[in-house]
Amino acid sequence: MENTVLFFDTTLRDGEQTPGVSFHLNEKVEFARHLEALGVDMIEAGFAGASVGDYEAVRAVSKAVSTGVCSLARCVEADIVAAAKALKRAVKPRIHVFIATSPLHREAKLNMTRKQVLEAAVKSITLAKSFCEDIEFSCEDATRTEPDFLREICEAAIQAGATTLNIPDTVGYATVDEYGEMIGDIYQNVIRGRNIVLSAHCHNDLGLATATTLEAVRCGARQVECSINGLGERAGNASLEEIVMGLRTRSDIYQLKDNLNTSEIYRISRLAASLSGVEVPPNKAVVGANAFVHQSGIHQHGVLRNRETYEVMKPEDLGIPQGGMVLGKLSGRHALREHAMELGFDLTDRELNAAFEKFKELADRKKDITDRDIMALCREQMHGASGMYQIHSFQIFSGNRMTSTATVSLKMGDLIVTRADCGEGPIEACFHAVDQITGLHCTLESYQLKAVTEGEDALGEATVRVKNKDMVMLGKGVSTDIIEASCFGYINAVNRLIEAQKQSDVPSSDIE
């Protein structure tokens, strides 16, 4: 174990705290299965005591995978009991207990003394240990905590039964050297010689999350807490893909092992982007679209002669597709599924059938179908829902000297319902007409439209984020007609919203 770095993925918990991101229950289960295929050692599936939805997510993920599953819990009895119940069917359960330890948090948030914080931590760890052998304890805002108190509470946590000690840089405050010194201090004075795992959890507020995490590993940490694509609160978490490739590419320095199957990284990165609606920036390290693109003539010449001249990693090690089949109007479902998987999309049968129908329509309209077109079709289906509403038809009347009106017909099973409404433009008019049918009257939180490829026949991809009853949901739509793409995106968001609201309406008495 000394020579192995354990990967603790928190995409489903901390990653979901990314502003505007909300995963469906079935999406969390699907993502957890991909994390298992990637080989992560622990999946933080949620915060069971926070809501019925999070409880159900932890329970569902616990049943779906055989890797370690963890639930976050405050130093509150109800949280710990909820976590234990949700993890009942997990093969390798862990309860992750945390409390803030810095003077700022103790005084401004908790209104507790050092002694009270320490006693609360010990009491909660002891309770958690009565349910579960594997207990993680986190000192929230550790990097702004007095070093002597940090050592004291870590020692007390071990005595109470904690098996993993996590030292979070909660607000991304520490410099690389500072964090390394802190980890080294805890390792030398608290951990050394004991069968306890020291863990690092770094945020990216100053852009240092990956660097501080790697320094923590060098100084004795053997668990890294991270997320796919760096998703997370504010500026995000340390990126799993950056950490593992840093460790492997510079194995001459770190000389450590891990349990990850890195050929799954590209696929799960694309899945995370699709489910969250947070696109991967093209210049993102390791998984960005430009990570292996060379524009300079000198660089191109060097790479053609020897890839190692300007590439420190191999794209195939990350599962990045290297060319292959070209799809056209005569391609079948199997070819589409295989190509989608190469691009990082594992479609269900329903999603595949819907994507294939749109693919055939697109092939009739568009001369050349690119990987970006296929990715857009896949993203649309993964953000769709087999929900109650489907677009049957729409008509628009719009001009620069008139109020835009839209007549929209939606299918609900065998029933077709038609309504008309107006708006400042044709897209708003369509959305209002849809609201007339659904009765939801959603608030449009954000709307983005982009061309997927170049040319007059390019696909337009609409990303629509709607809010209703404090719940925010994302939908995507694609079409060569931008109004149609927008309607598809809005309907997909509405269907997902309805489905999510049904799940959240489960009464708390149904929790086991």
**pLDDT at residue 1 in the model:** 46
Confidence band for 457, pLDDT divided at 50, 70 and 90: confident
Backbone phi, then psi, for 431, in 5-degree steps? -60, -40
User: Exposed, middle or buried by CB within 10 Å (0-12, 13-18, 19+), for 419?
Assistant: middle
Cα(31)–Cα(11) distance, integer angstroms: 9
Q: 145-154, 300-309, 369-378: which range is least confident on average?
A: 300-309
**pLDDT at residue 62 in the model:** 98
**pLDDT at residue 85 in the model:** 98
pLDDT digits (tens, 9 = 90+) for 180-213: 999 999 999 999 999 999 999 999 999 999 999 9
Residue type, 40: V
Cα 326 to Cα 114, 366, 451: the distances in Å are 64, 14, 21
pLDDT digits (tens, 9 = 90+) for 31-48: 999 999 999 999 999 999
Cα(225)–Cα(238) distance, integer angstroms: 7
Cα(148)–Cα(141) distance, integer angstroms: 15
Q: Which two tokens stand for residue 251?
A: 């194995």
**pLDDT at residue 302 in the model:** 53
pLDDT digits (tens, 9 = 90+) for 377-428: 887 777 665 678 989 999 999 988 899 999 999 998 889 999 999 999 999 9
Nearest partner of 391 among 408, 376, 378, 379, judged by Cα: 408
Query: Is the pLDDT confidence value at 294 over 50?
Result: no
**pLDDT at residue 511 in the model:** 38
Residue 202 gets the label, from left (phi > 0), alpha (psi -120 to 50) or beta, of beta
**pLDDT at residue 301 in the model:** 43
**Which residues share a beta bridge with 460?**
451, 479
Residue type, 305: R
Cα(56)–Cα(86) distance, integer angstroms: 7
Give the other-Cβ count within 10 Å of 57's Cβ: 28
DSSP state, residue 458: P
**pLDDT at residue 305 in the model:** 58
Residue predicted with more confidence, 64 or 480: 64
pLDDT digits (tens, 9 = 90+) for 94-126: 999 999 999 999 999 999 999 999 999 999 999
Q: What distance, in Å, lies between the first and last C-alpha atoms of the chain?
A: 36
3-state secondary structure 300-333: HHHHHHCHHHCCCCCHHHHCCCCCCCCCCCCCCH
Backbone phi, then psi, for 419, in 5-degree steps? -140, 155
**pLDDT at residue 339 in the model:** 82
CATH 3.20.20.70 given to domain 6-276: yes
Nearest partner of 14 among 275, 243, 168, 236, judged by Cα: 236
**pLDDT at residue 335 in the model:** 85
Summarize the confidence of residues 314-325 as an average pLDDT.
76
Confidence band for 472, pLDDT divided at 50, 70 and 90: confident
Contact indicator for 18, 232 with CB cutoff of 8 Å: yes
**pLDDT at residue 299 in the model:** 44
**pLDDT at residue 306 in the model:** 60
Summarize the confidence of residues 418-447 as an average pLDDT.
93
Q: Where are the domains of the chain?
A: 6-276, 290-320, 333-382, 390-504
pLDDT digits (tens, 9 = 90+) for 204-227: 999 999 999 999 999 999 999 999
Evaluate the CA torsion angle 447, 453, 455, 460 in order and state its sign.
negative
Summarize the confidence of residues 157-166 as an average pLDDT.
98
Could you tell me whether strands 402-412 and 390-399 are parallel, antiparallel, or unpaired per DSSP bridges? antiparallel
- Dihedral over alpha carbons 309, 211, 201, 182 (to 10 degrees): 140
* CATH topology classification for 390-504: Double Stranded RNA Binding Domain (3.30.160)
Confidence band for 313, pLDDT divided at 50, 70 and 90: confident
Q: 46-60, 268-282, 310-324: which range is least confident on average?
A: 310-324
Summarize the confidence of residues 222-241 as an average pLDDT.
97
**pLDDT at residue 303 in the model:** 45
Cα(12)–Cα(240) distance, integer angstroms: 13
**pLDDT at residue 298 in the model:** 44
pTM of the model: 0.85
